[in-house]
Amino acid sequence: MKKIISTTAAPAAIGPYSQAVQLDHLVFFSGQIPLNPDTGELVTGSISAETEQVMKNMQAALAGANLDFSHVLKTTIYLTSMDDFATVNDIYGRFFPEQSPARACVAVAALPKGCHIEIEWIASSQA
């Protein structure tokens, strides 16, 4: 049976979607952008600041499903500029020091609210 996952520790959805949906042991997480969950405001200033916030939001969303980064199977990173790849990769890697998940990284023309990064992922409660 499908179960909707939601937590106030991560930013609320800004459209008609759920933060995450669980089916059996798989959890499909919607993309996280660098929104501060307390204020709803976009974190700006640098790709480093945006990436740090996205990773914090991922951590909060995972915790809302009683999971952590070790449960992540696959991520997709969306960047508005591949010039940011190395910086994003360094920060992302700190959260996955061992057994990194499968991953894709793609450049896109634009992202919600004018941010420069979004990450979506799939996790498993059996990982």
- Per annotation, catalytic residue among 21, 60, 105, 111: 105
In whole angstroms, give the CA distance from residue 3 to residue 104: 26
> Burial level of 92, CB count in 10 A (0-12/13-18/19+)?
buried
Token reading at 25: 């042991």
Q: Is 105 a catalytic residue?
A: yes
- The count of other CB atoms within 10 Å of the CB of residue 122 is 17
Q: How far apart are CA 28 and CA 56, in angstroms?
A: 17
Chain centroid offset of residue 51 CA: 9
Rounded Cα distance, 114 and 33, in Å: 10
- Give the catalytic positions in this structure: 105
